[in-house]
Amino acid sequence: MNRYAQLLLYIAILSLGPSSSAAQPVNLQIGGIEGHVFNLRTMKPLSGATITVVVSSPTGESSSLPQYFDNPSGFYNVLFTTINMGLPATSSTVTAYCKLSNGRVISSAVPLYTTPQPIVYRRDIYIELPRSYSRCLPLDGATPGQG
């Protein structure tokens, strides 16, 4: 099931929740962040990167969306709703992590530069890999580390 179908199923399940005359309507808005991950040295798409989005609130709290992975062409897309973004947010950062075969993890982050809105943002990410590497391996842990 693709991400759009999963999100539509999620919205349908939310709409089936308990009904009450006192229930407040949910203002559910959908947005996204998409782009490509590139090897900065070669400018070629980088496959296998792990993508995370961290959202910071005005109170200084932060939350992270689930991890996503780019496809063989380096493309990624992250869908979000106002529910899982925890709006209002003051900033968001998209980070790509690349695990190398020697176990080292290299990352690069790109800020969203705006409060997340229900639109699709385009953010390409460039990771500088050592010369002998051209792809990423899946991360083992739940939280990527900085290499």
**79-125 confidence digits (pLDDT tens):** 876 554 555 556 788 899 999 999 999 999 998 877 667 788 899 99
Q: Give the predicted TM-score (pTM) of the model.
A: 0.70
Name the amino acid, one letter, at 61.
E
pLDDT in tens, 44-92: 999 999 998 887 766 777 777 767 888 889 999 888 765 545 555 567 8
